[in-house]
Structure 1
């Protein structure tokens, strides 16, 4: 991947800030010119292309907007807002492509009814008489089993819906600290889910923090509006997300009349070990809910344990046939620690993508996994999956071209 030098990067950032201020004041033509200048400085900056797409849309240049978003997607694949914008813009121009983008976007925005409806169009018209699928199960990460034993020695979508139900139940029974903790855990995995933000708002209301609850509700409303209105994602929104997460954290730790902090490492490890045992016994649904308890109660700084728990949850979801949810779980694990992604995680994520017939994304995951330490047997299996996905992708394209 190309990286701009420090001087160029700083110049681009300044130009993007300038363009953003112009856009905020409604001076779209001038903003457009600034974004084009930023692209001239660094044509491989996906943010510049994304923002250019937004400005073109505001100016009514739909074709140029689509081209800009597609360039951003090429440079930074699977960015939720980019995929959602492409789905909406292409709805009346290329329904097949719009449906494909929507199918990818709902992984990031599962509660958006517009995207859900678009994603179902492809399924209703393009499914072959006989479903094509890859008969492959995720590679079980041996390091998880080893970690389970070492932790014991040291005394250490509907998976999401089940934890949401539990969080609501805890609020109803007055266990506000634990409810906030569970919503906070969900928020880390789904920062763009308005349902989760509203759930956290409700929990904060019940805990006696109406002002902070209102902040969460506004965040949910902004997310709802951001897709259909195609608004610019600015750095301030990211900072706002971080602040609200910190607010939830401070509630959890500071309220003296709450129960003892559930973000306890030993308790989280206990849940993790139990989830691993359930997974090995084939009790996938129980394993999923137990992994969620581990994730929801895990201290903020215990990234390694969270990564392993999200990976384990992804495996359990895959085994249960809940492939789209498993993609979210693997994606969350990767986003928590992108520098230490294992080949097995990428392979498992590729298997999930293949299971929902997103073959090009599956190929990307499988290809990247080959570079990250698979053993000989796993490498051979991965290469076979790449070949199968390429074949299935071609067949899928042929079917769609006949529509």
Structure 2
């Protein structure tokens, strides 16, 4: 019979861990167990003159313990311990479920080519065991995917768990980002990529009144942040387990693959850019539209961005790199992202044309599927209310995009229904009046 392995015992744990008969990490107060269980952590401190017996590690009180729970995304009340209690089991059972969800389903949501499968399903989870920020991020996105498919009663518990895991990972990620090296570069890059999906999914899970324009601005900033990490660590990434080198070798699809209808719409974007901005060789800003909204005239910037959108359409049409179009904000760059955040009208018109591409990306990229149509509708409404003269000038481009998103027909049906309702209401009012008054209405 195999002997039990000996281990060093310590009497320096907190009072709660002694009561629970669990091993204390002795890093508090509060220790990790008390944090998870939301308990008051109390230590019996050794006497001032007492010396360490050699078997007990020296205690180093943790500074700023709550810094592990940032407000980058609004957290639910409670903590992971309470969430797990609501879930119906201890933390380890939840995390086993989430890792199983990642390795059997969620990883597919980020696979653009066959070579991504082994990396995302096997290599990245194993690497995440050494980097808590990545492990927490995998748990977060897996929990969000479960929340989409489970019943409403359980959905909120998984969303809350996702928030808690992501906020833990986000803090740790920032501390590691300043120490990027050949070993952790691919893990840092993947955290930044998966974080985009988390940020796009959580607001929609929590609120029906989420501003899609605000969400789009966040998405552009996050994609550009991820792109910056990739560019900074490019030499390391090319030699890492992440198959970036293979992906780069496959970029270069012909624009002839773009659907004729879409090609015509992109050509129209180029023409509108020329009409609107070609007369300003240098980028300028001007106050237009009722004198309050700043509009940017930057012909070259918009031209490059539209070309990037064409490339995204071509790659998606080729089908070699699925989901490639989701990275368009990275090709558009930080300056364009700032214009999207400021709701520049022509920048939003370009984004409107991007939503058609998002809408066509494979259904397994579930974290993109619910964005395209609501974003397209909100851009259209914003242009019509805030820039009515430009909306009239760009009517063909806007109508084309709404039609491709399936919004024009539903909007027409809504208008038709409202018109019919108004006519019916008018008829009912007429019938309720005396006959002579009704006759005067009908024939006079």
TM normalised by structure 2 equals 0.25
Q: Larger Cα Rg: Structure 1 or Structure 2? A: 2
